[in-house]
Chains A and B, each alone.
Chain A
Amino acid sequence: MSETVLQVKNLKLYYHTSKGAVKALDDVSFDLKAGETLGLVGESGCGKTTMGTGLLRMPTPPGRFEGGQILVEGRDILPLPEKEIRKDFRWEKVSMVFQGAMNCLTPVYTIGKQMMETLQEHRSMEKAEAQELIKEYLSYVGLPADVTSRYPHELSGGMKQRVVIATALFLKPRLVILDEPTTALDVIVQAQIINLLKKLKKTFDLSFIFITHDLALEAEVSDRICVMYAGKIAELGTNEQVYGGKGPAHPYTERLLAATPRLRRKVESLSFIPGTPPDLIAPPSGCRFHPRCPRVYERCRMEEPPVREIEPGHLAACWRCFE
C-alpha cells in the first residue's frame, strides 16, 4: 500500500436542472492507494453514484464539472480530450459496476455475446481468443463456462452480478468502482459476492471504491470509509477509526451507525435520524447536517465546517469535532 492510484481534489459536479443547480458533489477531496478499498456511504441522493460516474468522467446529463481535479496515477483527467479518455483511461484504468447493472443486461442476447461485445469494443482480438478470455474471467468469478450460452433471465441475481463484475475486470483496470453491487441481493448471496470481491482484489491487486448505503456492510469490505452527506464529505477515516471502540467522530456517522440494526445484539429500541436529507439545490446554511443534528449549536448554523484532519488519517467536517 504505497502508490497513490487516485487523487480527487476539490471536485465539484452540479446537475443543471430547470429548477436550479443540484450540487451533487460540492468540493470533495480524497485519495486512494493501490490495493485499497474505499467505502463510500451515505443516504440516498447524497451523491454516491454521481461520484462514481464523475470519476469515469462521464457525468449523466445535465451534470457538469464545476471545478477541481481528478488525478489518475498523477495525471489530471478532466482537461483531456474524450478520445484519449476512451483510449487509455475509461475501462482501461478505471471501470465501474453500475447501480442495478445486473438488471440491465439485454434480455435478447446470450451472456457470451454481450461480454464479447464489450471486449471487442476495446480490444481487437480473434473470436476464439476472446472466448477463451471470457471463460477465464467467468471462472475467476466462480461461474461455469457454459454460462456464455445462457440468457440473462436464466440466471439468478447473484450469477448476473458475477457476470457484470467479470465484465468490469476484462481490461485489467487498476480501480473498480462498485455502485451498490449487493443491494438487490439476499444476505447469503451478498456475503458470497463480498467474499468473491475480496479474492479478486488479492488476485488482481485491485483498488475498489465500494458504494453502499449500508454501514454494516462497509465494515466488512472497506479499509477506509468515506461518509458523504448532501454532496459533501462528512467524515473519512480508517475502518478502525470509524467502527472501533472510540466510535466515529462526526455526529452524522454516529447517528447513522446507531440507526444500523444489529442482529447479534438485543435492542429495545432502534434509533433513527429525524427529518429528511436536504434539497441539494438550496442546501441549509452552515453545516448541511445542522437541521437534523443532535449536537447542533450556534456556529453550525452560521458557518460551514471545513474538512479537517482531527487525528492522523482521520478527516471530519464538524465544528464539534474540532473542539
Chain B
Amino acid sequence: MSNGIDGDVILRVDDLKKHFTPHQGFLQSFGKVRKVVRAVDGISFEIRRGEIFGLIGESGSGKTTTGKLVMKLIDATSGRILFNGRDVTSIGHEETKEYRRQVQMIFQDPYASMNPRFKIRDVLEEPLEIHRITADRKERETRIVRALTEVKLTPPEDFMGRFPHMLSGGQRQRVATARTLILNPAMLVADEPVSMIDLSTRAEILHMMKDVQRDLGLTYLYITHDLSTARYFTDRIAVMYLGRIVEMGKADDIIDHPAHPYTRALIEAVPEPATGKVDVVKELPISGEIPSPSNIPAGCRFHTRCPYMKPECKEEAEPELMDLGSGHYHACRRWKEIG
C-alpha cells in the first residue's frame, strides 16, 4: 500500500467535484435553464494518518457536501478519493460496506442523528448487527460497555436502557461517538460535532474526542465553521469558500498569518471577550454576502467581496493553490501586495 510519499497519507482527495442538478418536473424542464449548484468545485487535499484535519468555511461553502463525499453518502461528479492509496470513488457494494467500517461519521445534530425509537443499547448494537461482528450477546454487551466507557459515559449500564431524548445534547454526541468507535474505524468524519452543544460543555466533548483520537490513533476530518475551536482542536486546516479551498496549512500558521483576504475577514469577524469594543463599529475587510453556489463569480470567486480586488482578479482565470512554503497554501494572486 505504501509507496514513498503517500506512506503516511490515509486519505487523499483529488480535484473532487459535486454539482447538484436541481430536480425538475417534466414540464418545468422546458424553457428554463437548469441552474447547477456547484457545491464542491474541485478540491484537493491530503490527510495524514493520526492527524486532525479541519475544514472551515461559512454556511453553504460545501463542507458538509465534502464530508458526505468522503463518506460516500453521495457520489462525486468527478475527481477521486483515495483511502490508504486505493481509489474508493467507484467501488462495489461489498467494498463500500467495508469502507464504511473503516471510515465513520459523527453528525452535527445530536438530536437528529439517532432514531428516537432506539434505546442507546440498540443504537450501539446497530453497527455490530450491520457488520455481523458477533452474534454472541455477551460479546456485544462487552463491546457496548467498552465503547460507552471510552466516551466517558459512566456507568455505562445507566445509559444503555435510555432513549436518546432522555440524554443531554453532550451525552448524545458522546453516544454518537461511541457508535462510531464500536467498529474500530481508522478515520472519523465529524461534521460540526459540537456546534449544537452548550458552550460550557463544548470543550468537554472536544477533549473527549481528542483523548479518543490519541488513545486509538484515529484520524479526524473535522468540519466546522468555528475558527476558535478549530485552532485548538486541529493540526491543519483548509478554508473553503464557495466550494473551493482558498487557504490550507497548519492551524496556527493560518490564524496568525492568514494569506488570503477571505481568511483575514473570517478571523477579523470572530468576537473576542475583551473590553472597549461596545461603542466601536467593527471594520470588516469584506463586503456583502456570500453569492449563491449556483451562480459562482468568474475569475477569483471571492472577487465580488474582496477589498483588494483588481480587474485581473475578475478577468483572469481562477488562481490555483500556491505554496508559501512549509505546507501553507493559498489561492490569492495579490497576496504579495496585500502583505
Contact = CB atoms under 8 A, between A and B. Distances in A.
Interface string A74-118: 000000000000000000000000000000000000000000000
A188 B271 contact: no
Given A263-B255, A270-B206, A219 B198 contact: no
A277 B277 CA distance: 30
Contacts of A277: 198
A219 B281 contact: no
Contacts of A259: 199-200, 202-203
Interface string B217-235: 0000000011111011000
How large, as a class, is the contact surface on chain A? 35 or more
A259 B267 CA distance: 19
A257 B273 contact: yes
A216 B272 contact: yes
Contacts of A189: 58, 289
A263 B284 contact: no
B271 A219 contact: yes
B200 A43 contact: yes
Contacts, number: 133
Contact of B227 (A43, A263, A276): A263
- Tell me which of A37, A239, A255, A261 has the highest count of chain B C-beta atoms within 10 A of its own C-beta: A261
B274 A43 contact: no
- Tell me which of A222, A239, A263 has the highest count of chain B C-beta atoms within 10 A of its own C-beta: A263
B228 A261 contact: yes
Contacts of A195: 281-282, 284
Interface in B271-290: 271-279, 281-282, 284, 286, 289-290
B260 to A, nearest CB: 14
A219 B280 CA distance: 12
B171 to A, nearest CB: 8
A267 to B, nearest CB: 6
Contacts of B279: 198
Interface residues of B, number: 43
A189 B265 CA distance: 11
A124 interface: no
B267 A263 contact: yes
Interface string A268-300: 011111101100000000000000000000000
A121 B106 CA distance: 46
Contact of A272 (B204, B270, B275, B281): B204
B299 to A, nearest CB: 21
B275 A239 contact: yes
B281 A198 contact: yes
A259 B275 CA distance: 17
Contacts of B289: 156, 158-159, 189
A216 B275 contact: no
A260 B146 CA distance: 31
A261 B207 contact: no
A213 B268 CA distance: 20
B228 A215 contact: no
A159 B289 CA distance: 9
B269 interface: yes
Interface string A222-238: 11000000000000000
A66 interface: no
Nearest to A190: B269
A106 B335 CA distance: 44
Contacts of B154: none
27 contacts: A159-B289, A186-B290, A187-B227, A187-B266, A187-B269, A188-B58, A191-B271, A194-B271, A195-B282, A213-B199, A215-B199, A215-B273, A219-B272, A239-B275, A239-B278, A243-B273, A243-B275, A256-B200, A259-B200, A261-B203, A264-B272, A270-B206, A270-B207, A272-B207, A273-B200, A273-B201, A277-B198
